[in-house]
Amino acid sequence: MWNKLFKHLFHSYLTDFLILAFLAAAAIIIIVPSPVNMIISLTLILTVIVFILLFAKMRKRELSQILKSISGIRRNTYSAPKDIILGAELKELEDEIKLMFGKMLEDIAYLKKLEKMRTEFLANVSHELRTPIFTIQGYLETLIDGAIVDNAVNRKFLEKAALHTISLSNLVNDLIDISMIESGEMRMSFRYFNINDFLMEMVGEMKQAATDKNLELIFIPPRSNLQLLGDKTRLKQVMSNLILNAVKYTDAGKIEISVEEGTKTADIIVADTGIGIPEEDTDRIFERFYRVDKARSRAVGGTGLGLAIVKHIVEAHNSKIYLKSRVNEGSEFRFGLKK
């Protein structure tokens, strides 16, 4: 304790003390210029000089310690903040440097993660683009090599090639959407709209896709004058993604669209009796390109971008998308909109 107190006094009052001692020595000589006083003054001045030297030495040691730790950070000699030690006198500075180093390590880790995500994204994009392009190329080459005059296959091959150009353009559109949303370029236009009319229209548009798979598409309407706030165009994208997913990943049964009205918000719910999503995948399916069963998803024309777009749009409405699912029983997606 004494040690600490002395250090504190030494640090905080040293300069004041030195100036005072110097002035006192000068005053003694000027006021009473006797030999004894001369000796006292000289002793005082010498003491002051010794203190200054001591102080300077201590500061130099501290500065070199600080310099050592900073250059250590620059040279990557520390692997964790706890490795930085400046000693008890510089505890506060040591803590600050530790915090700064910790933050720097976090930032670097985050940048590395972003870089990894960017590389993965590029790899995924090229992979997904390659599949339809190669297929189209294959059909066209076969046609050029002679199949064009073979009436048994020529039309079929052209139709297949055309089908793949559709999935190619869907993929490119999804990619444009994703990059626009992520770069903040997608402008939202929020207006109140009648949710009943909106969902009725959506269900009408999706009916055929469900009927083609012998699935029932049911709409349970909310009260007819319920108005919700949102960007209708973007919400159309959300609903068509959710309903088409429900159709794609349901082999038998029904898809039910409903609205649950709360006091300030209303939830829009898309539920199906499909294959369901295993619990370990429920967080990841909103990631770009993530598919539970890649083979199955690709077979039904999926690239794994739909739910990433859905999540972004829902979040742009200051809301969140929730998923409840059980394998082989079905899935339920829901998100809220302001009333």
Ligand X SMILES: Nc1ncnc2c1ncn2[C@@H]1O[C@H](COP(=O)(O)OP(=O)(O)OP(=O)(O)O)[C@@H](O)[C@H]1O
Q: Which is nearer to ligand X, 1 or 295 (CB)?
A: 295
Region binding Mg ion by CB under 5 A among candidate stretches 192-200, 231-239, 243-251, 313-321: 243-251
Selected from 69, 196, 245, 325, the binder of Mg ion by CB under 5 A is: 245
Q: What are residue 260's DSSP bridge partners?
A: 267
26 to each of 18, 19, 49, how far by Cα in Å?
Answer: 12, 11, 14
Q: Are 63 and 79 in contact (CB under 8 A)?
A: no
Q: Which of 34, 43, 99, 88 lies closest to 65, judged by CA?
A: 88
Q: Which two tokens stand for residue 67?
A: 């310099």
Q: Map the footprint of Mg ion across residues 254-313, applying CB under 5 A.
A: 306
- Residue 301 Cβ vs ligand X, minimum distance, rounded to whole Å: 6
Q: Which is nearer to ligand X, 269 or 292 (CB)?
A: 292
Q: Which is nearer to ligand X, 70 or 209 (CB)?
A: 209
- Selection from ligand X, Mg ion, none that 249 binds (CB < 5 to 8 A by kind) is ligand X
Measured between alpha carbons, how far is 292 from 331 in angstroms, rounded to an integer?
A: 13
Q: Which amino acid is at 220?
A: I
Q: Is 181 in the site for ligand X (CB under 6 A)?
A: no
Dump the DSSP string for 187-243. Answer: ----EEEEHHHHHHHHHHHHHHHHHHTT-EEEEE---TT-EEEE-HHHHHHHHHHHH
Selected from 246, 257, 266, 268, the binder of ligand X by CB under 6 A is: 246
- Residue 313 Cβ vs ligand X, minimum distance, rounded to whole Å: 13
Q: Which is nearer to ligand X, 139 or 289 (CB)?
A: 289
Q: Map the footprint of Mg ion across residues 10-39, applying CB under 5 A.
A: none
Measured between alpha carbons, how far is 99 from 17 in angstroms, rounded to an integer?
A: 34
Cα dihedral across residues 51, 57, 61, 63: positive or negative: positive
Q: Map the footprint of ligand X across residues 155-174, applying CB under 6 A.
A: 174
Binding residues for ligand X, rule: CB under 6 A, are 174, 241, 245-246, 248-249, 272, 274-277, 285, 290-293, 297, 302-308, 331
Q: Residues interacting with Mg ion, by CB under 5 A? A: 245, 306
